[in-house]
Structure 1
Amino acid sequence: MNPAAPSDVRARLEAVVKAYDVRGIVGEGLTEPIVEALAAGFVDEVGAAGGTVVVGHDMRDSSPGFAAAFARGAAARGADVVSIGLCSTDESYFASGSMNAPAAMFTASHNPAAYNGIKFSRAGAQGISLGTGLAAIRDRAADYLEQGIPANPEPGVVTSADVLADYAAHLRSLVDLGAIRPLKIVVDAGNGMGGLTVPAVLGDAAGLPALPLEVVPLYFELDGTFPNHEANPLEPANLVDLQRAVVERGADLGLAFDGDADRCFVVDEQGGAVNPSTVAAIVALREIARVAAAGETDVNVIHNLITSRFVPEAIERAGATPVRTRVGHSLIKDQMKVTGAVFGGEHSAHYYFRDFWGADNGMLAAMHVLAEFGAQQAPLSELAARFTPYSLSGEINSVVDDVPAAYTRIVETFTGRGEFDELDGLTVDGITAESEPFWWFNVRPSNTEPLLRLNVEGADEPTMVAIRDEVLALIRG
């Protein structure tokens, strides 16, 4: 790799190295020389010289080239590289966990086709954030871009491995779907990696026994240009095709995966979106019951502060301890390890499992929903309603010219009306009489854009709407 001019190297790296991963526009922020340098910095940071590093990639056009560049940079610094090729992000976590090796996954998740990125893991699928190694990787990479990557006297070798069948078998060992009632499910892979992993895990493509599932595929063709819709099910517009197909095909439910298939969203038989907090509550109760049956008595379950109030209520009623955290992928992975939590759920449809090295796995969450749903006879809309007693706004983003001023307006307006909590942004918990419906909201500034993110929950729809509209008016001035 030829050294780069030092003028803009550090600025370019600071632009693409985010709080929890690397993300940038291909050919501008992210290039093969930058990837090589990041790989070298990664090997140094995690002490992988003389050991093994796993690299996998999604279906984006630039991903194979970036994965190859990463292998060159890692091998130059003395790491043996195991290339697992096309995979989902949670499949790369499986490889990292089962091989006990650090890993790099090339994906930009739900971002448009022009983007790509890297999700790094330490050995055992442990997360890396800006404060726990990612900044050091960035700074080492800047040095290597300016000065060149010094070759290790004993460079590593690059080999290939296919872990899809082992990944599918591992998930099947964690959730038994063999005895559920027959279900018809529509799955929208969004032309992302779910098109590879769903047939292996929920079907027989990996050589596993067939399950009592009829899977109706939607956009299973791997295509990083996303010709049908963006692979971001968090946006309601990207669920429309799935919702229509579920109703038209008379399916029992629908599943939608994002581009790298680590997040899964659920749609009921009427085409209604099931809130991720509802999924978190369902999975939490199943995991609590499982470990309690095995004799565990001190059970922790993580939820971030944006999930429905029902989630910690359900955890407590089940005899476990809810652990409230800030929002953030690597942060929650760290908390899973520190607390020994059996499960963790986020409002963004990231679900974390102790039995999956504390990492998030959308497929595993979907399997838990299928197991719970398939063990009873009620339609999913009815089952989900039992876990959705309150009214949530969902996350509402507002472009704000003066974020501090908007924040001040909110504080002044709600002083005396609510209790303030600054664990992550500002959470205001309404001070209400016992007979009055509860409400709370959270406002969080974006780290990278002039945005305020609002989430509101109320005991009922009118309460939530009233608070939502009042806070939005304050945010937008």
Structure 2
Amino acid sequence: MTDLSQIIKAYDVRGVVPDQLNEPVARALGTAFVEMLRESGDEPDQIVIGHDMRDSGPGLAAAFARGVNAAGAAVINIGLASTDQLYYASGSLNLPGAMFTASHNPAQYNGIKLCRSGARPVGQDSGLVVVRQRAQELLGDLNAEADGPTRVEQRDSLKDYAAHLRSLVDLAGIRPLKVIVDAGNGMGGYTVPAVLGDQVLPALPLEIVPLYFELDGSFPNHEANPLDPANLVDLQKAVREQGADIGLAFDGDADRCFVVDEKGDPVSPSAITALVAARELAKFPGSTVIHNLITSAAVPEIITERGGKPVRSRVGHSFIKAEMAASNAVFGGEHSAHYYFRDFWFADTGMLAAMHVLAAFGGQDLPLSEFAAEYERYVASGEINSTVADAAAKIEEVRAAFPDARVDDLDGLTFEVGGGAWFNLRASNTEPLLRLNVEAPDARRMAELRDEVLAIVRG
């Protein structure tokens, strides 16, 4: 029997199919999800379900629906969807939701992202532990309840999703832009033509050049994980060779978006966070903006300069969404390229972030490399992972090596070492890894600090 503690972590469900995540597990999770919602005071009559392009998605989603029906609730199945399209359906219908995706993970994986009505997150502190415990009981119960009457409605939400995003950002008046989009054979190949193209809505002044738009959960060209520089190489080459103005790369479920400039150089997600924050603060002066603790120091600086209130958060979507809801923040950004919007039910959407970038960039005449430079003030290492046997012991070794640093423990340990330099060291939730992020005012100081910390961690 599957040990659900191995696949249900801080934010979602993620496991190898069928060894860890299979249809009996999905069915148990469907029932457990409805029961958790009821026990916490919700009375869900319907659950909205979507899935990405992985081959296992339809079967797992159907099994989950059977579990929902067994618990006495009905299902609205939107079928193929990006994760933010599922959040749109949850928000607009005010229903709890379940999205079947393993995001950027390799082809043998699948997973589930759960949300309450209005796209509110379900994480380890907001119901996911209860779901895991109840589903584990159901898997071990030979007398678990039989399937209820099949109550599944099929509904297409793509056009409404696209129209909603178009209503939030006006792209009609920007200058013409040549945009190369690498969907990585993921769900961006489904949503980009609808939102940025003319598939279902009037054309925009954008020439969209597609890369790997064919939906294929085996990821035949490269992993759908733009956080890994190796997966940006094809996009960077295409932008340079075709003289594009900008390149966009989406991950497998298209809830994250990465940007490259006309030279093929990546624009850091911290710079995108600062850029979008500035736009949102222009619309909603004085608002709160959330940023996670490994975004660049430039982010809170720019938020403050634009009259906003920066608030730091732990890494992870369930944490940042909770912070946003608590403070009614207008926007939130993570260095992993998750971007959250108050006018999108506090949920993350890479597509809406991309639209803000296109609107800002297309509303002026500078090339993107010059335009984005305003938001890039420091030099960052990017996230560096090290395999360690005892993460806690290594963190304490690093602490001892920096006795004069200012340290906080919001998520792992963040060390401010003076002169505008800092680093964060935190343990992975799922693997025997320590994750290091370093930032400094210049490349030399960043490299020195990075190498000093890594020498201890890997020593």
Q: Is 1:322 the counterpart of 2:310 in the alignment? A: yes
Q: Is 1:354 the counterpart of 2:342 in the alignment? A: yes
In structure 1, the partner of 2:420 is 438
The answer to whether the 8 A contact 2:37-2:44 is kept is no
- Residues 385 and 396 of structure 1, relative CA distance in 2, 3 Å threshold: same
In structure 2, the partner of 1:4 is none
Q: In the TM superposition, what whole-angstrom CA distance separates every residue of 1:407-433 from its partner, at most 9, and x where no partner exists?
A: 1221111102x11111111111013xx
The answer to whether the 8 A contact 2:324-2:346 is kept is yes
Q: In the TM superposition, what whole-angstrom CA distance separates every residue of 1:219-267 from its partner, at most 9, and x where no partner exists?
A: 0000000000000000000000000000111000100000000000000
Amino acid at match of 1:382: E
Residue from 233, 237, 240 that aligns with 1:240 = 233
**1:156 Cα offset (Å):** 5.8
1:124-273 matches, cutoff 5 A? 124-147=118-141, 148-151=143-146, 155=149, 157-206=151-200, 208-273=201-266
The answer to whether the 8 A contact 2:29-2:135 is kept is yes
Q: Percent identity?
A: 62
Secondary structure class of the residue paired with 1:64 = helix
1:16-35 matches, cutoff 5 A? 16-35=7-26
Secondary structure class of the residue paired with 1:131 = coil
Q: Is 1:468 the counterpart of 2:459 in the alignment? A: no
1:372-391 matches, cutoff 5 A? 372-391=360-379
In structure 1, the partner of 2:37 is 46
The answer to whether the 8 A contact 2:14-2:111 is kept is yes
- Cα distance in structure 2, aligned partners of 1:452 and 1:142: 30
- Cα distance in structure 1, aligned partners of 2:221 and 2:371: 31
Q: Is 1:451 the counterpart of 2:438 in the alignment? A: no
Q: Which region of structure 1 is more displaced relative to structure 2, 161-170 or 48-57?
A: 48-57
Q: Is 1:76 the counterpart of 2:70 in the alignment? A: yes
**1:69 Cα offset (Å):** 0.7
Secondary structure class of the residue paired with 1:464 = helix
**1:438 Cα offset (Å):** 1.8
**1:391 Cα offset (Å):** 0.5
**1:450 Cα offset (Å):** 1.6
Amino acid at match of 1:424: D
Secondary structure class of the residue paired with 1:473 = helix
Equivalent pairs counted in the alignment come to 455
Q: TM-score, normalised by structure 2?
A: 0.97
**1:403 Cα offset (Å):** 2.0
The answer to whether the 8 A contact 1:49-1:78 is kept is no
The answer to whether the 8 A contact 1:78-1:156 is kept is no
- Cα distance in structure 1, aligned partners of 2:56 and 2:299: 40
**1:39 Cα offset (Å):** 0.3
Q: Is 1:429 the counterpart of 2:411 in the alignment? A: no
The answer to whether the 8 A contact 1:196-1:220 is kept is yes
5+ residue gaps, structure 2, are none
Q: TM-score, normalised by structure 1?
A: 0.94
The answer to whether the 8 A contact 2:34-2:44 is kept is no
The answer to whether the 8 A contact 1:77-1:155 is kept is no
**1:386 Cα offset (Å):** 1.1
Q: In the TM superposition, what whole-angstrom CA distance separates every residue of 1:17-47 from its partner, at most 9, and x where no partner exists?
A: 1111000000100010000000000011113
- Residues 385 and 50 of structure 1, relative CA distance in 2, 3 Å threshold: closer
Secondary structure class of the residue paired with 2:105 = coil
- Cα distance in structure 2, aligned partners of 1:374 and 1:28: 48
Secondary structure class of the residue paired with 2:140 = helix
- Cα distance in structure 2, aligned partners of 1:66 and 1:403: 35
Q: Which region of structure 1 is more displaced relative to structure 2, 404-413 or 119-128?
A: 404-413
Secondary structure class of the residue paired with 1:289 = helix
- Cα distance in structure 2, aligned partners of 1:14 and 1:408: 27
5+ residue gaps, structure 1, are 1-7, 432-436
Q: In the TM superposition, what whole-angstrom CA distance separates every residue of 1:190-228 from its partner, at most 9, and x where no partner exists?
A: 00000000000001112x110000000000000000000
The answer to whether the 8 A contact 2:44-2:96 is kept is no
Amino acid at match of 1:429: E
In structure 2, the partner of 1:94 is 88
